[in-house]
Amino acid sequence: MKKTILENRMKHIFCTVETPKKSNAKYNYEPESGGFVLAKYLPLGSVFPYDFGFIPGTVGEDGAPLDVIIISEQGTFPGCILKCKVIGAIKAVQQSKDGVQVENDRFLVVPEASSIFGNIHRVAQLSDTVLDELQHFFINYNKQEGKDFQPLKILSAKDACKTIEKAKSNCQPIKKIEVFIPLYDKEGNRFSDHLYQSVSKQLIKNFGGITAYIRSPAVGIWENSDGMQIKDDHVIYEIMVSEIDHSYWKQFKKKLELQFAQKELIIRQSEIGLI
């Protein structure tokens, strides 16, 4: 049952377009500049057959986000983000000029908004012409750069989703979430340990692991309207993630405020770097 839920969730992902369909220019997203940089022009008469981009929050064997081909009747623009359905992938290896060979798959997706391709759920539903066109395009595209691109086989939607999930786990967490929960209620009574155990279990289930500062609680000091200083002991739960689902955290915060009878709890986020 859990496996089925995971597969269904993974079949729909967000993709970022770098180079639009029918473009003669190749664009690359540059995180440092925060924009899309013109990388090169293709030879005259050569254009991208479909929108080409990447899957955010993934790291492939070459150290870059996974490449994605967005099969649709319309082209978009650099930076466009599309919710897409995974239908398969072209498994391939790429050899550079210096002979280094890495896995460099091309994942095949269809935008949810597509009216012509919306009924396609697996790569087998695509015509052989589309697959041949895509494979020949990337073979020739890499050949122009002195690289050897070798398609190996076509992956099913299920296998493509597994590969994407693995690439997501390879992506280093870059954001830290901290959840502050008080130890005592308004009357000074300590909350039940069962409540904290419940919070820990839910966060571990959803994110795979946490750091909980329970035995050495943080002490918060604040001043009320009468000018009196009040101390608050808090348990802090720390989670590292690559992407923040704001809707999830808003709902989680409301749930905790009800459980611990608090007018407002603090959940904060911050950027971090790993060594």
In the chain, domain spans: 2-169, 175-271
Check residue 179 and give its pLDDT: 94
pTM of the model: 0.62
Q: What are the strands of the beta sheet with 229-241, ordered from one edge?
A: 211-223, 229-241, 175-182, 266-271
Radius of gyration of the chain, Cα coordinates, nearest whole angstrom: 24
Q: What is the pLDDT of residue 158?
A: 93
Distance CA 199, CA 267 (A): 13
H or E element, residue 84: strand 81-95
68-82 burial, b if ≥16 CB within 10 A, otherwise e?
A: bbbbbeebbebebeb
The predicted model gives 84-109 an average pLDDT of 91
Average pLDDT for 10-22: 89
What type of residue is 212? A
> Which residues fall within 8 angstroms of residue 204, CB to CB, at 6 or more apart?
210
Tokens 């050569």 locate to 46
Mean pLDDT on 210-217: 76
Please, which residues have CB within 8 angstroms of residue 224's CB and are 6 or more apart in sequence? Answer: 230
Average pLDDT, the chain: 87
Across the range 243-254, mean pLDDT stands at 91
More confident residue, 155 or 226: 155
CATH superfamily ID and name for 2-169: Inorganic pyrophosphatase (3.90.80.10)
**Residue among 185, 168, 153, 152 at smallest CA distance from 261:** 185
pLDDT of residue 191: 92
Chain-centroid distance of CA 113 in Å reads: 20
Among the four given CATH numbers 3.90.1010.10, 3.40.50.2300, 3.30.420.40, 3.30.70.120, the one describing domain 175-271: 3.30.70.120
Task: Identify the bridge partners of residue 106 per DSSP, sorted by sequence position.
Answer: 67, 90
The pLDDT assigned to 240 comes to 87
The pLDDT of 159-185, averaged and rounded, is: 86
Q: What angle is formed at CA 244 by the lines to CA 155 and CA 269, rounded to 5 degrees?
A: 150
49 three-class SS: coil
